[in-house]
Chain A
Amino acid sequence: MLDTFEILTTSGVVVWSRSYAAVSPSIVNSFITDVFIEEKGAIAGAKDDQPTASNPPYRADQHTLKWTFSKELGVIFVAVYRSLLHLSWIDKLVDNLKTIFVDLYGDQLKKPNTTLVHCHKFDEYFDQQVRQLESSAAVKGSQPSAAALVSDDEAVSGNLGDEPPLPPGLKHRSIAQNGAQELPSTTESTPVVTPSNSRPSTPGTSHLVVGKGGPMAKMSRRARKMQNTSAPASSGDEGPARKAKKAPKKGRKWNADGYASEEDDVQLDYSAAANAATSESEAEGRSTAMESIDSSTWGTKTSKGQFVLKDLDDEVNDILASAQAKSTGSSSSGGLVNSGFSTISGLFRNVVGGKTLTKEDLRKPMDGMKEHLIKKNVAPEAAVRLRDSVEHELIGLKTGSFESIDARIAKAMEASLTKMLTPTSSLDLLREVDAVTRPSTFSSVKPRPYVISVVGVNGVGKSTNLSKICFFLLENKYKVLVVAGDTFRSGAVEQLKVHVRNLKELTQREGGKVELFEKGYGGDAATVARDAVRTASNEGFDVVLIDTAGRRHNDQRLMSNLEKFAKFANPDKILMVGEALVGNDSVAQAQNFNASFGQGRTLDGFIISKCDTVGDMVGTIVSIVHATNVPVLFVGVGQHYEDIRSFSVKWAVKKLLSNN
């Protein structure tokens, strides 16, 4: 059963909610943080006004969240339910409720300077929708395997990838088509039973099917649609369900090749019927609105004991039908005169401002912005993601007075970059070292040395940056133990020896203390690191800095050592050194290193070295943050020990957007 349904604004106010079981607010909070603010995973485009099924469900703490988002009004619709349950009608519920809510209360939400939305009456609409969908799901509930089978299909077709998302109307039709093709097969193979028989007397029980986590829980929209159209037919057994999987597949092939290509002669006996149905399904796709009204009125009649107000029902269906009709008809453009007028006024507004931005307006300048970012050494995938997210943000917005599109885009891009590069929590290294080495007398935490290790590919400057951090810590009078964890490359230990000797001389008068811990060559780096940490805590060192051997990020043999290393040394901070000079490889490097420390351990930050050699081309920073969501902490800007800086977002954004 559904645990909670909430409607909340982007400003954080819960406008309406219905709770069946207590759900910790932290679940929704972490959902918002992860999906909307930090944009974890590759779901940057998910913020559009797309239906629920296309938004990846969010899972946290044994709960699954299905959601959709209305960008125009800034309203998020979230349904929370136990991950164990397999609720096939959730997507439909969320979508329908969104349509109804936006229709009824959209005006109230648009009002500025208030958070008040009077929507007490929404309870009734919600109840009506839940009842209706639950009862229709009761029929489908007996066909869960079909849903599971097709959901794989949907996963492929749903992520069509680089193409711009189709307008909802178009998508809808093609899906309806597939669903309709499936319809004859079911009717053919199983005798049609009267609907009143097929409807179980207790709706709401059969949807309690235990899902197997992954694909089961993700109910596809197509499957839902398919079941919707096949609802009048009896609940089939395994046979038609398996066939049902084939039918949509074939349908897509036809779409790609055109109807003429009939040579895939693995045709089963029902293919002719399905073929004939395609033309029919066109009409059906258009008239889905009508059909949904029909089935619902019919549903309220048959299900006893669930008295639903008739007028409310009609109203809801009207809203849904009109919304659907709107989305189907939206693709048609206005007449010649109309478009001519809008072009002129568009040109005018382009100068004066107050122009409503459309995808066409944005395409060219956005591509220009993407090129600009790529020129700044941003990896193409990061640039594309930034472009898309800024585009999503801007479509439908109005430019300010006397503001050109380019200026607006630059502003939005700056905000987007700032948001991306700003870490969730700022790092104050000295405060953290203090907190670990000299915990307050109240807490029961025992003082221990603070462990930092650096990793990275060969030759990016791991040892150099380690020495720079060491110098900075020594200036602040810490006792530092430098560990030669590179037991592989000849000369690595000697290199660190030289660094430590220099640092000793430099900091003698400052009062810091630095020692080198080394076990020669050939030993196991993880063991050396563990011994070093032990020694450090025995001898009262404050900070342990562990150098590691450089390794190629795509060499599985070398990378697998890192997991053991992370376990043995258990560093407080694992920093990866990446050079600003590197090109598109930076994304793969960052991702591979980020994933190499085993479960539950990721990188804690990046050091970007050699920033002085690239000028304004600091795009590497964007690439790696895009790939991993791990913040950049330090940048190396020169050859001397003091040439390390804490990373400033403003500085990076300015360099990225500068024009030269």
Chain B
Amino acid sequence: MDDLKHYLEYILTPSTPVFVVGALIVLLVPILVHFYISSATPYTNLPSILLIGPPGAGKTSLLTLLERGDNAVPTHTSQITQSVELTVSTDGGIQSFRDAARDDAPGSHKKFMLVDTPGHGKLRESAMAKINANDPLKGVVFVLDASALDENLQATANYLFDVLLALQKRMGVGKTSKAPHAVHLLLAANKADLFTALPASLVKSNLEAELGRIRQSRSKGLKASGVAVGEMDDEDNEDWLGEYGAEKFAFSQMREFDVEVDVVGGSVLEGKVDKWWDWISERV
């Protein structure tokens, strides 16, 4: 009992060792806790590439192809997002995704996450949330079906419009003075192996024309419920995709918001996705 009393007295008496130890505890504990927590949650800081697009375009197929390296497995409609950890070569040692998929690929590598999202209309919320999330998002690959673009043009363009608008808004809402890093978009025109597939240039022009029409009709459309009257006038500017007031929409207008849009054709089934892979490697 006396020991305890003595001990307490010592601690409560101001003296140099007590101050030093106290200061050390105060300084070190938060730092240690931080390291403990950050080490407990891995995979948060890997750069990520988002696969997005209408259903049936071949997002999951592409994912499996890039992961396996040899060929894609059959897939069905996705219900959840699925991330896969992939590597790209950093020293130019290997070029093709086929080599990168091997475990014993030579050279040094950088890991990144390829995130597949469901394309179904009801489940797009999660994909859109990923764009706005604070992940180190490096790029978005919008996979579309080039062989059935005629029938699906409106649906595809609608989704693309939402994605582009989200990317555009993302650039606008930086809380700090530091601008958020640029996120570029690749339009992957899939299914080039099919006879009816459109070439990339035609895909681009068709989509640009359709996006222009959507932009026009959205600006004239009804206000969304919950938006009070009068609040809308200054928001007009925000919901306008690309250069405000421009007659026609072109993907080049997105440069204003640091969003580069490339259109590249390819085919998952035939394994002709090297150009897409190059694009992804560049972003990562």
Contacts and interface: CB of A to CB of B under 8 A. Distances in A.
A13 B81 CA distance: 11
B122 A38 contact: yes
Given A37-B120, A424-B122, A430-B217, A115 B82 contact: yes
Q: How large is the interface on A (under 10, 10 to 19, 20 to 34, 35 or more residues)?
A: 35 or more
A362 B258 CA distance: 46
Contacts of B197: none
Interface in A1-57: 6, 8-14, 17, 25, 28-29, 32-33, 36-38
A92 interface: no
Nearest to B83: A113
A13 B226 contact: no
Interface in B48-94: 56, 60, 63-64, 67-68, 73-85
Interface string A112-135: 111110000000000000000000
A634 B154 CA distance: 21
A32 B76 contact: yes
A25 B213 CA distance: 33
A63 interface: no
Nearest to A423: B121
Given A116-B67, A644-B222, A11 B78 contact: yes
A338 B74 CA distance: 46
Contact of B225 (A9, A37, A115, A645): A645
A614 interface: no
Nearest to A433: B217
B145 interface: no
Interface string B216-235: 01101111111101000000
B62 to A, nearest CB: 12
Nearest to A634: B222
B19 interface: no
- Counting chain A CB atoms within 10 Å of each CB, the highest count among B78, B113, B155 belongs to B78
Contact of A10 (B80, B113, B121): B80
B43 interface: yes
A336 to B, nearest CB: 33
Nearest to B225: A645
A366 interface: no
Given A115-B67, A428-B158, A29 B56 contact: yes
Contacts of A424: 120-122
Given A115-B64, A426-B121, A14 B222 contact: no
B205 to A, nearest CB: 13
Contacts of B213: 431, 434
A29 B76 CA distance: 6
A116 B113 contact: no
A249 interface: no
Contacts of A637: 225
A434 B214 CA distance: 11
B63 A115 contact: yes
B224 A646 contact: yes
Given A37-B120, A116-B68, A428 B60 contact: no
Interface in A417-435: 418-419, 422-426, 428-431, 434-435
A635 B224 CA distance: 9
B198 to A, nearest CB: 13
Contacts of B18: none
Interface stretch (A180-188, A275-283, A493-501, A647-655): A647-655
A422 B83 CA distance: 24
Contacts of B116: 11-12
A475 B223 CA distance: 13
Given A115-B64, A116-B68, A646-B223, A418 B125 contact: yes
A611 interface: yes
Interface string B152-169: 001100100000000000
Given A428-B214, A430-B221, A646-B221, A11 B122 contact: no
- Counting chain B CB atoms within 10 Å of each CB, the highest count among A114, A415, A429, A476 belongs to A114
B214 A422 contact: no
A271 to B, nearest CB: 50
A12 B154 CA distance: 24
A421 B16 CA distance: 65
Contacts of A648: 224-227
Interface string B134-161: 0000000000000000000011001000
A239 interface: no
Contact of A12 (B79, B83, B85): B79
Contacts of A434: 213, 217
A521 interface: no
Interface of B: 43, 56, 60, 63-64, 67-68, 73-85, 113, 116, 118, 120-125, 154-155, 158, 213-214, 217-218, 220-227, 229
19 contacts: A8-B76, A10-B78, A11-B78, A11-B116, A12-B76, A13-B73, A25-B74, A32-B79, A112-B43, A113-B43, A116-B68, A423-B122, A428-B214, A430-B217, A430-B220, A431-B154, A472-B222, A645-B222, A651-B226
